[in-house]
Structure 1
Amino acid sequence: MNPIWLLRMAKWAHHPPSVKRVILVFAVIALALLIAGIQWMGWWPDWATSERVPRRF
């Protein structure tokens, strides 16, 4: 493990993030899971799906 990560963990232990930040992170994760679930079930609209553009060399 990189020592930088140990310092970062110590910083988080001494100064944890605020409740608002934790709620924001969980809300973003929930939104991403919701979008992935909608797409997996096939309910995602075609107009919101991007198409791959072929690369030219």
Structure 2
Amino acid sequence: MDPMIRWGIRLAQWFRNPPSRQHVRIMVAVLAFCAALVLVERLIGWPEWATLGNHPPRVAR
């Protein structure tokens, strides 16, 4: 199914049965948190301690 059709169906469902205010607040808070993380990463950069090293994969014994 085309993604635009899928989004249209989802928007139609939300229009008919809107989410509660608390649900909307949670969604906005999560989006704001994600946007803040992206802004911090773009402006300051990714911290060295959070970067994975180039270690060889572990072998299960």
TM-score (norm 1): 0.60
Which residue of 21, 30, 33 maps to 1:31?
A: 33
Moved over 2 A (4+): 4-11, 43-46, 49-54
- Which structure's relative contact order is higher, taking Cα pairs within 8 Å and 6+ residues apart? 1
Residue type of the alignment partner of 1:37:
L
More divergent stretch after superposition (29-38 vs 9-18): 9-18
Matched residue, 1:15: 17
Give % identity: 29
- Return the offset for 1:46: 2.2
TM-score (norm 2): 0.58
- Return the offset for 1:42: 1.4
Note the residue ranges of structure 2 that are not aligned, 5 or more in a row: 56-61
Label 1:6 to 1:44 Cα distance change in 2 as closer, same or farther (>3 A). closer
